[in-house]
Structure 1
Amino acid sequence: MHPSLLQDAGCPKEIPHNEKLLSLKYESLDYDNSENQLFLEEERRMSFLGFKCLEISRWVICGLIGFLTGLIACCIDIAVENLAGVKYFVVKQNIEKFTEVGGLSISLILWAVLNAAFVMVGAIIVAFFEPGAAGSGIPQIKCYLNGVKIPRVVRLKTLVVKVCGVICSVAGGLAVGKEGPMIHSGAVVAAGVSQGRSTSLKKDFKIFEYFRRDTEKRDFVSAGAAAGVSAAFGAPVGGVLFSLEEGASFWNQMLTWRIFFASMISTFTLNFFLSIYNKKPGDLSSPGLINFGRFESDVSVCGLLGALFNILNYWLTIFRIRYVHRPCLQVMEAMLVGAVTATVSFAMIYFSNDCQPLGPDQSEDYPLQVHTHTHTHTHTHTHTIVETQLSPFQSTIFLLFCADGEYNSMATAFFNTPERSVRSLFHNPPGSYNPLTLSLFTLTYFFLACWTYGLTVSAGVFIPSLLIGAAWGRLFGILLASITPDGSIWADPGKYALIGAAAQLGGIVRMTLSLTVIMVEATGNVTYGLPIMLVLLTAKIVGDYFVEGLYDIHIKLQSVPFLHLEAPATSHWLTAREVMSAPVTCFNRIEKVGTIVDVLSNTSTNHNGFPVVVPVAVCGLILRSQLIVLLKHKVFVELARSRLTQRKLQLKDFRDAYPRFPPIQSIHVSQDERECMMDLTEFMNPTPYTVPQETSLPRVFKLFRALGLRHLVVVDSENRVVGLVTRKDLARYHLGKHGLEEMQLAQT
């Protein structure tokens, strides 16, 4: 291992994650097919009709992925709206009861307790049952599609906990959204459906067995992520672009139409079932979990707030890693955030004097079913609680502490699901919010969202980011109208709310092309495409100057060996000889069983590839997982009586063991069997990728990244193995503030 090119100057050594470390616990995925004799024989036996059937199967699987993802989104949406509606109704009734007798503190406590109770349930199932379901899951899926095997990221148990957890988080009033977790949910659905079995349920349906390998599974997970975006925002094209821009590191052009098909099925399924639930069958007007509403076509924000959000969340995450790492503490922190969110919301509503007339313009958002209850409290004038009952599917909004016939703008923003708050900021008419209300809301919600992201709950950052941006964008529009001579030309602050929402989300997650299309599809107006893209590019450039995107930050904090698009710009002076791992354990083409068992037992489980040599020149590469299957099935060459017999295996035997191959410790080999031989010729990859030892690091990186490799053999001028390049060898090098830096490898 080379000495670090930059010492950890000023970095506190007690921080357990340490940015200068890469974790050895993460394995790579085999995105390059092993074209051994078994694989080639199977492919050659398959007829043209067989290949067509496989292609049809891929379309069927993508359709199932879209259908199930849309169905899950529908269930989440209905559950959240109903639970939130019940919570708001209980709190409303309590406020009505205690306002008249001066006991609003009881209402505050009730609101905080209800929030904490919902959040507690969501945090417990994540912290104690499936920690992999925490957060939005987007960084984990991004790593998976990059080629990193994240433990338990696409398990059925993770999906169940993710769905239940996000329902509890949003219903608990946290500053989170349910859209981000839909991307993870779609990916898990894709991973399960495409394999035709569930290891969590120990069920094997004996279908789609051909697709049981990392290459095929990756393509379907890309489709699942796109279907999740489509279900969340009603943006099928945006889903495809998201999967391309933020997810898939390796893209197959033939895959594009299948992913788009899955995205279309997803948004249609959600739309169809929601129309039935709303008792309007066939009214397909709600294509996603969030509908921004349509904008009419009449037509310097930047990434500073996004960068600030990421920096604060970065240091908060480090604090959590150091001090809040026990499940019980994680649950307590989540409950605290839920209670504080309710308390802050109540205080902001109570002390707000932003009362607006409830006029005919609100008839759509507030269908008139108004009841008034006059009361007096510490304010000097009489106030009224105005209850507005929305449609059965929507949450009940009650508008507090204003005169008869008025509603509280702060309550509209705080006492609601985040999705409806975003919509109100986009579409409420001019004058619906005063600048002070928007300023206080932006500041408060910014810190609440920053504190919330990273809790041990299932939650996303998309909607909180949009809500923050919509608030300050609308504020910018109001201020611009007030300082210009002819304010009428800036009359619609909702359009600035849309631009601000895009800028804030772009500043946090650094998405450009895909987010532009998502916003265009969600608003139903292509007019805003160009300004939104310009804003997102500005936000990305400005934000990248200060700090990385939020997902990249959390990937780095987990010490994941993530490979970016290009090698560091200043790395041309490094060669394969300097970055490779050496010495390398090699096997002979015909190897003694005892030797193989000893090597697998004595080497780290992270050592997954072994060059095969004859006599010293490389002639193939075999994986640990393949050797495990061969030992399990005792594929040995018996030397007794000069007989050469070896059990015949098929690819099905390897697929049946995929993806959780047993450890070597579970394989029993007798002393007699140790003396047998194993012929690796039929099972090894006879054409592994190799590079000369003088190859530059950028060239090695490009080859490794573009082909989705797991191992790259380094040879000398005589084709002898001198080293092996893996993902971790490349991910060690990155461009820091002081030039090229090298991270150390550690078991974390």
Structure 2
Amino acid sequence: MPWATIKMMLVDWLYLAALGIGMALLSMAMDQMIEYMQTFQMLLMTLAGRSGSSGYDYLFTYLSWLGYTELLVICSAMFVHYVAPQAIGSGIPEMKTILRGVILKDYLTFRTLISKVVGLTLSLGSGIPIGKMGPMVHMAAIVANLLSNLAENFEGAYGNESRKAEMLAAGCAVGVACTFSAPVGGVLFSIEVTTMYFSVRNYWRGFFAAACGATVFRILRVIVFKSETTLLAMYQTHFPKDGFEPEELPFFALIGVFAGFLGVLFIAVYRGLVMFLRQNRFAKKFFQKNWIVYPIVVAFIVASITYPRGYGRFLTGRFKFTKTLYDIFSNCTWSKPLYSPESPHGCSSELFGSWMNHEGYGPYNVYIVATLFATTFLFLSALCNTMPIPCGMFMPIFVVGAAYGRLFGEIVSAIFPEGIPGGTDQPIFPGIYAVVGAAALSASITHSVSVAVICCEMTGQYIYIIPLMLAVIIANAVSTYFTPSIYDCIITIKHLPYLPDIPPSNAA
């Protein structure tokens, strides 16, 4: 084999490994910073509540909660505004445009990477309901572009536009893999969401880079940060092998239909908010002149609603938003008595306490709490994603979908406490409904089917791939009929130079 071929292969493999490992290290470092920031907010609130007077306690804890959220959101907005405004938003619509061959100025520069990393860490640290998957895809694409420029010095082929596009596609896969530690789902999701035409010879590049990233990400969680004891999935579930009956499939299909309509509602709310800000004469004039006021107002609304001793007591103030997934996916049932040898499928008193008796104000009806949690965060995540900060919407939507799925599963469990009649004596597992709901709502908003695979990788169990695929395809069909995906909506709103026309939502 000639030396030139060996050298090219070596550069290729090293490049992809560096991309995957580098993004895993960056993702892990950001996660740790965000964890410290969110823990500090809880600590600050605890310290503020020691005045000795209940009235002053309430006032001081609210002000500390509000002040901390405001400070981090303002810092994020200002940093991004002055360093690189290209870092605002998700980044996936822009990547979709770039991968069509359109050059967007300064979207793949080192300056934008710094702006995105710092801005996203601050905004996620504030605890507002946004995600990091979209921004991670953008960051990984920037790193892929910077590495391409570096590799060009050793191998001239990397200067080729076609090769750069291949590496950007691999970068998009790495971004998803390093968010959820889901290499297979990451590659499939990046293909579905960012590319119209995909060259199959790029497949191995995406898989290799994503596998490197996901492996390092999981190992780091165990060895360095001690957040896990073994190389388990992100949200490991423990449902039995026969966790659902064939008779339950119509219920999963129903979740798909509901999630489809909910996705259409979310996209309509998001589009309505953005168009109001752009078309209302007063809002447009005021917020363009005083751009910092909008994030201040939104942060005030979100902090006031999520304040744990106010309305936030219905939103499980024990945890920050995404941590509630551990509760929602839990292998127990609300409608059964508390966990004991006589009631093996009941939930623990700690879980009940956090959802129904937060800070000792309860107990509240668990179904009302779950409905308020899901509905509130559905609208708050749409609102937060209109702010001029780096933010993603996949994770909040995933959590909201899980909450609706859990609620649906609990209702089914309450109707059939002994399991589905005619089946085995296996009880209903609402956690499985939660996983299906999470996948269905995410699929409905992003118009992707690979969310089913991401769900299996995130939860570490493939036994419910059939209910997942059923719900995801139905949710997709319903949502696609009424509206384009959220990313296509953003492309249209931002007037990005998108080569082929985005087709109307239905073939007619």
Matched pairs, number: 457
Aligned 1:323-362 pairs, distance under 5 A: 323-324=283-284, 329-346=290-307, 349-350=309-310
- The corresponding residue for 1:453 is 385
Higher helix share: 2
- Cα distance between partner residues in 2 of 1:279 and 1:506: 32
Q: Is the 1:159–1:188 contact (alpha carbons within 8 Å) kept by the matching residues of 2?
A: yes
- The corresponding residue for 2:442 is 505
- Residues 1:131 and 1:324: Cα distance change in structure 2 (over 3 Å): farther
Deviation (angstroms), 1:331:
2.6
Q: Is the 1:441–1:471 contact (alpha carbons within 8 Å) kept by the matching residues of 2?
A: yes
Aligned 1:307-456 pairs, distance under 5 A: 307-322=264-279, 323-324=283-284, 329-346=290-307, 349-350=309-310, 410=314, 412=316, 414-427=317-330, 429-431=332-334, 432=352, 433=355, 434-456=366-388
- The corresponding residue for 2:405 is 473
Q: For structure 2, list consecutive stretches of 5 or more residues without a partner in the other structure.
A: 245-253, 335-351, 356-365, 420-424
- Residues 1:506 and 1:735: Cα distance change in structure 2 (over 3 Å): closer
Deviation (angstroms), 1:460:
0.8
- From 12, 18, 24, give the equivalent of 1:64: 18
Deviation (angstroms), 1:127:
2.3
- From 126, 129, 137, give the equivalent of 1:183: 137
Structure 2 SS opposite 1:195: helix
- Residues 1:212 and 1:463: Cα distance change in structure 2 (over 3 Å): same
**Letter of the structure 2 residue corresponding to residue 339 of structure 1:** F
Q: Is the 1:480–1:490 contact (alpha carbons within 8 Å) kept by the matching residues of 2?
A: no
Deviation (angstroms), 1:315:
1.3
- Cα distance between partner residues in 1 of 2:467 and 2:104: 37
- The corresponding residue for 2:223 is 276
- Cα distance between partner residues in 1 of 2:374 and 2:476: 21
Deviation (angstroms), 1:548:
1.2
- Cα distance between partner residues in 2 of 1:511 and 1:490: 31
Deviation (angstroms), 1:56:
2.4
Asked if residue 236 in structure 1 is aligned to residue 186 in structure 2, the reply is no
Q: Is the 1:293–1:524 contact (alpha carbons within 8 Å) kept by the matching residues of 2?
A: yes
Asked if residue 163 in structure 1 is aligned to residue 130 in structure 2, the reply is no
- Residues 1:53 and 1:463: Cα distance change in structure 2 (over 3 Å): same
Q: Is the 1:196–1:208 contact (alpha carbons within 8 Å) kept by the matching residues of 2?
A: no
Deviation (angstroms), 1:294:
4.6
**Letter of the structure 1 residue corresponding to residue 271 of structure 2:** Y
Q: Is the 2:174–2:209 contact (alpha carbons within 8 Å) kept by the matching residues of 1?
A: yes
- Cα distance between partner residues in 1 of 2:310 and 2:293: 27
- The corresponding residue for 2:496 is 560
TM-score norm. by structure 2 comes to 0.83
- Residues 1:327 and 1:66: Cα distance change in structure 2 (over 3 Å): farther
Q: Is the 1:195–1:207 contact (alpha carbons within 8 Å) kept by the matching residues of 2?
A: no
Deviation (angstroms), 1:77:
0.4
Tell me which stretches of 4 or more aligned residues in structure 1 moved more than 6 Å.
736-739
- The corresponding residue for 1:545 is 481
Query: What CA deviation, in whole Å up to 9, does each residue of 1:434-480 have, x standing for no partner?
Result: 10101111121111111111211111111110111111111111112
Deviation (angstroms), 1:737:
8.0
- The corresponding residue for 1:570 is none
Structure 2 SS opposite 1:148: coil
Q: Is the 1:127–1:331 contact (alpha carbons within 8 Å) kept by the matching residues of 2?
A: no
- Cα distance between partner residues in 2 of 1:330 and 1:496: 42
- Cα distance between partner residues in 2 of 1:341 and 1:280: 28
Structure 2 SS opposite 1:502: helix
Q: Is the 1:115–1:173 contact (alpha carbons within 8 Å) kept by the matching residues of 2?
A: yes
Q: Is the 2:129–2:380 contact (alpha carbons within 8 Å) kept by the matching residues of 1?
A: yes
Deviation (angstroms), 1:337:
1.7
Query: What CA deviation, in whole Å up to 9, does each residue of 1:711-741 have, x standing for no partner?
Result: xxxxxxxxxxxxxxxx4xx54x8548897xx
Asked if residue 304 in structure 1 is aligned to residue 261 in structure 2, the reply is yes
**Letter of the structure 2 residue corresponding to residue 470 of structure 1:** A
Q: Is the 1:274–1:286 contact (alpha carbons within 8 Å) kept by the matching residues of 2?
A: no
- Cα distance between partner residues in 1 of 2:35 and 2:490: 30
- Residues 1:153 and 1:286: Cα distance change in structure 2 (over 3 Å): farther
Higher strand share: 1
- Cα distance between partner residues in 2 of 1:295 and 1:489: 12
TM-score norm. by structure 1 comes to 0.58
Q: Is the 1:95–1:104 contact (alpha carbons within 8 Å) kept by the matching residues of 2?
A: yes
- The corresponding residue for 1:482 is 414
- Cα distance between partner residues in 2 of 1:335 and 1:295: 43
- The corresponding residue for 1:285 is 231
Deviation (angstroms), 1:102:
4.8
- Cα distance between partner residues in 2 of 1:351 and 1:515: 32
Q: Is the 2:331–2:431 contact (alpha carbons within 8 Å) kept by the matching residues of 1?
A: yes
Structure 1 SS opposite 2:122: helix
- Residues 1:269 and 1:420: Cα distance change in structure 2 (over 3 Å): same
Q: Is the 2:73–2:126 contact (alpha carbons within 8 Å) kept by the matching residues of 1?
A: yes
- Cα distance between partner residues in 1 of 2:53 and 2:399: 30
- Cα distance between partner residues in 1 of 2:478 and 2:109: 37
Structure 1 SS opposite 2:292: helix
Q: Is the 1:98–1:104 contact (alpha carbons within 8 Å) kept by the matching residues of 2?
A: no
Deviation (angstroms), 1:292:
4.8
- From 189, 202, 214, give the equivalent of 2:161: 214
- The corresponding residue for 1:516 is 452
Q: Is the 2:76–2:119 contact (alpha carbons within 8 Å) kept by the matching residues of 1?
A: yes
Asked if residue 151 in structure 1 is aligned to residue 105 in structure 2, the reply is yes
- Residues 1:482 and 1:275: Cα distance change in structure 2 (over 3 Å): closer
Q: Give the fraction of aligned pairs with identical amino acids, expressed as a percent.
A: 26
- Cα distance between partner residues in 1 of 2:507 and 2:435: 38
- The corresponding residue for 2:360 is none
CA RMSD in angstroms comes to 2.6
- Cα distance between partner residues in 2 of 1:133 and 1:351: 32
- Cα distance between partner residues in 2 of 1:71 and 1:498: 28
- Residues 1:262 and 1:294: Cα distance change in structure 2 (over 3 Å): farther
Deviates more, 1:269-278 or 1:94-103: 94-103
Higher Cα Rg, which structure? 1
- Cα distance between partner residues in 2 of 1:61 and 1:295: 39
- The corresponding residue for 1:368 is none
Deviation (angstroms), 1:96:
4.3
- Cα distance between partner residues in 1 of 2:160 and 2:265: 41
- The corresponding residue for 1:260 is 207
